[in-house]
Structure 1
């Protein structure tokens, strides 16, 4: 056993060693998160150039974005579960290799169809990286440092989101649109080499009892999530016959999925997981917050261009303020979670978001750029705090054999919120503005649409606060670190 002083000395010497041993693995996971967010944000800026290169319509090239988003959303739970069964290190290396290969194929694609197919493969690689990056944190850092690690991953995701449009624009101007995909290849290869050398072998954590993979449940879930994502993204906020059919298909698929999961011996998702109110609360609030954050990305450019009359360069600069604030706040947010507890900091983040959204629903356009940027910075900092806390609250108490699945569920709820925010909140904005042609709408109409959208966002965050407060402690927060 040893004396208390000896144990303290052992702890003091062990902590730097543990910290050093986690740097390589964390660096590889950070690169994986950076790549997945770059893959989402950089492609949008290249759509006009790609449409011109292939003489294609905007509706056709939009599938470059949709293929990635639908693949990521529909497959992320399944690949998380597969990591639990096969071992997450092995699958992470596969995901990085697939992302690198698909990025190369995107960059050399001779036709639009092959480019879209390669983007779907890239989305599968991104799904693996996103699901497993959070799942592997628990095996790399001590539980008392989980919040800091989650904050660091959130920072890298925010950096990728902020960097994507500007990096893509520079690459297109200097070398052409193909380089927005080719630039991912060396980064992915570096991440794969680093992951291969540093990530711990977790095959011992893989489930050794029943290693069966639920193929029927996986297929039903992929089809259900894919149908919902397509319904939300192809209608541009309008519900037509195709969208209605897709939503109906998603509903039927969801019902069939639940039926199959109740009957099968080794389900993809054990439905009794949802008896845990902490997990239910985390998934619901995650989806709501993602819906609001996507709304800010949809509303922001129109408000800045039409209500504040900024040019494209100024819009890009102002829009980067939010992701930059999230990137800077990610690591400090993680430290706050470790010190004060996940549930408390999750509520603090939500309250900050609600307050800032309320301010944006009331501040007049005459307040100018400062009147928009200051509350948006608060929104994104609140989001960074919430993300670090919410993820820590769930992942810190998950059994090793379930980390991939739970991480996949968290990422799925986030992606569903993103696609819902782009469609539904975009529709709210357009309806309040009183026009479907937002590009030429008058400033007062756009300002009214912005205020209404942020008022609805405030209401959504208030709902999220109520859900978070109502959840019982199914698992205890990690003990706060003494000052």
Structure 2
């Protein structure tokens, strides 16, 4: 079934995938605005607040590759529905958590649900739409999904100010119910007939162990010191885990991540840019709204509203950005987008006590929104379009895993790199210099991402011959061609 972008059936599929993805996107950002309130109510230190963010990001990043491969094997719609239901149940636990330890545990469970639903949403789009409509559909998905992420701080600020931080989790339950209803009725099933027959447990475990070790080590470093055995041991476990992951994926017959796909220059380049850009984004969305509240004195609602221009720009321009990249090629937008974001971060680094929104905040936010709009849709379309259609689930899983791992490590490392030490994220005098340094580091990451995009992304992606069918489970099995190794 090859849907058209503007058809009624195509709009239902787009609605279901956007709403489902938005659940994960919003929860990746909405909690940031509530961190000061969570810290006060649950009496949590800086490490507890970091783990409230990273508990979700860790399980999401560690298992998102598994989510993509499960969708390829058992059906993307089926795994997507499972993920949405799981996410809703975990969100309910988050909203009822009586202390920060149980909140972190519930956030870890929430990340598992996000890992199941996120790659399925993008793979469903890639498999459902006709090739000539995919860039437009992915552009619309990127824009609307990005809106969900940008709306997170606004929604969180309103809920925290009007009621309680617990509402930011409880509101997921009715939204998830709507997604389940729409997807069950209107989303076609799709799968990869050539998907691996066995689950790569060794790869999943070594990858999760590597991310967990690095995250815990960098988070504990400020409090314990670099020479502490726990810190050194955790970092060593993280490095060894990631090395073991690569060795496992090279040696087994049916890996979660066939390393051969990285021989495709466009795919490898897109994921390198993703690593740098989303590491920067992770730092920005973690510290920006906290800085506005703690240092600049904004209310939670005002801090959340500060990012509203990003939402508007992505709503208006992301689909057009995807269409532009399809017309002129992805290299120019993917080079210009991170550079524009880097300029915006120079302006953001100057936001301090008494910052006026119209003159000190708004110009930086608008510039940042324009940069993201240029970058996100072409980046996603390149990561998905560089490989054969049969590998839509793998491509989506890898790109999402890279993005989530980048954000996860940014939240763990950035406060340390910016000079937080054992200070507090809720004390203005301690946060202000850390925030300024962090924005400059994020700007440098974006700038390097722009340079890498120029060097690695081609003007045009190679054309791939589509398989016979992805969406009709009763159709003859598709016989995907070998992975295209050269863009």
Check whether TM > 0.5.
Answer: yes
- Select 1:273's aligned residue among 237, 245, 261: 261
1:182 corresponds to 2:170: yes
Q: Deviations over 1:21-65 (max 9, x none)?
A: 211111100011111122223334455665676676675566443
Q: Distance in 1 between matches of 2:220 and 2:317?
A: 34
Bigger drift between 120-129 and 21-30 goes to 120-129
Q: Which residue of structure 2 lines up, in the alignment, with residue 420 of structure 1? A: 409
Q: Distance in 2 between matches of 1:329 and 1:167?
A: 22
More helix by share: 1
1:215 corresponds to 2:239: no
Q: CA RMSD in A?
A: 3.6
1:393 corresponds to 2:382: yes
Q: Distance in 2 between matches of 1:333 and 1:20?
A: 23
Q: Distance in 2 between matches of 1:428 and 1:468?
A: 25
8 A Cα contact 1:397 1:475, kept in partner? no
SS state of the match for residue 141, structure 2? helix
Q: Which residue of structure 2 lines up, in the alignment, with residue 255 of structure 1? A: 243
Q: Distance in 2 between matches of 1:112 and 1:438?
A: 16
Q: Which residue of structure 1 lines up, in the alignment, with residue 193 of structure 2? A: 206
Q: Within 5 Å, which residues of 2 pair with 1:87-236? A: 87-108=75-96, 114-172=102-160, 176-203=164-191, 205-207=192-194, 210-235=196-221
SS state of the match for residue 43, structure 1? helix
Distance 1:354 1:76, change over 3 A: same
Q: Distance in 1 between matches of 2:99 and 2:427?
A: 33
- Select 2:397's aligned residue among 408, 428, 431: 408
SS state of the match for residue 99, structure 1? helix
1:77 corresponds to 2:65: yes
Highest Rg: 1 or 2? 1
CA positional deviation for 1:151? 2.4
Q: Within 5 Å, which residues of 2 pair with 1:457-472? A: 457-471=442-456
CA positional deviation for 1:90? 1.3
8 A Cα contact 2:51 2:104, kept in partner? yes
What is the TM-score of this pair, normalised by structure 1?
A: 0.82
Q: Distance in 2 between matches of 1:129 and 1:416?
A: 17
Q: Deviations over 1:85-143 (max 9, x none)?
A: 22211111111121122223334456765544333222111112221211221122222
Q: Distance in 2 between matches of 1:181 and 1:43?
A: 9
- Select 1:374's aligned residue among 363, 378, 394: 363
Q: Distance in 2 between matches of 1:25 and 1:336?
A: 23
What are structure 2's unaligned runs of at least 5 residues? Answer: 465-487
Distance 1:174 1:136, change over 3 A: same
The count of aligned residue pairs is: 460
Distance 1:338 1:17, change over 3 A: closer
What are structure 1's unaligned runs of at least 5 residues? Answer: 1-13
What is the TM-score of this pair, normalised by structure 2?
A: 0.81
Q: Distance in 2 between matches of 1:366 and 1:295?
A: 22
Bigger drift between 251-260 and 178-187 goes to 178-187
CA positional deviation for 1:233? 4.2
